[in-house]
Amino acid sequence: MKNYFSELAGKTVVVTGGSKGIGKEIALTFAELKANVVISGRSEEALNEALAELKKFNSSCFAVQGDLSEIQNVRKLIDAAAEQFGTVDILVNNAGVNIAKPAMEVTEADWDTVLDLNLKSVFFASQAAAKYMIAQKSGKIINIASQMAFVGYVKRAAYCSSKGGLVQLTKALAVEWAEHGVHVNGVAPTFIETELTSKMFEDLDFQEDVNRRILLDGLSQPKDISGAVLYLASDLANFVTGETIKVDGGWTAI
């Protein structure tokens, strides 16, 4: 019987925003499968804590600190992974930010902060990784989008715009790089139960609205997202490109 996902052992996997929440869960999933995982994040303390967990599964994992809104840090991350392991096989563009404000209160700085990390950095990280993937004629790029790429929601004008753009970017890069053996796909989560969203759900009206819109019971867990990412990174998805999988508990089905 085939040992599914065994092909991921020894692969070089870069996970942006890999020190907390969904990103850390994704990174741990790959590390458990003995992939060489490189994570990025802004907080040195959070990176060190996450890296200690990763190294329990694979001592080769390492972290690169930096704000990916600054494109030189994006390129530094990808090149560091390639320099250490020889190439980049899988890139998970997970780093993202939201500034929840009514549209009439969004400033130019707010807009730039959201779009620079959620969309601009993804393009340049993908471009940097594709340099190595095209050379080896294989690679998987997985973009963490959002259900908000497909539906609107209050106080999310910039966020919805960034994630909608990300879904279209996923398609555009998939079309352009297919001939080089590079697959580009996305995963679109709903609201996830993590330490990063716990404060958000202190607003009981917001929590009730979210629970009402999700058809399945309860909030999504980080492992639900890492499962979709794992599928897209594996050989099981070798004929899938340009697709964004919604992991939203049925929110967008209505």
Residues carrying an active site annotation: 159
34 burial level (CB within 10 Å; 0-12, 13-18, 19+)? middle
Burial class (CB in 10 A: 0-12, 13-18, 19+), 107: exposed
Query: What tokens were used for 167?
Result: 């879904």
| Contact indicator for 54, 45 with CB cutoff of 8 Å | no
Whole-number Å distance between alpha carbons of 185 and 80: 23
DSSP code, position 117: I
Amino acid at 216: L
Max intra-chain CA distance, the chain: 58
Q: What is the DSSP string of 213-236?
A: H--SSS-B-HHHHHHHHHHHHSGG
Structure tokens at 46: 């959070």
Bridge-partner residues for 36, per DSSP?
12
**Taking CA 231 as the corner, what is the angle to CA 227 and CA 235, rounded to the nearest 5 degrees?**
155
CA distance 229 to 204: 31
Please name every residue paired with 37 in a beta bridge, in sequence order, or none if there are none. 13
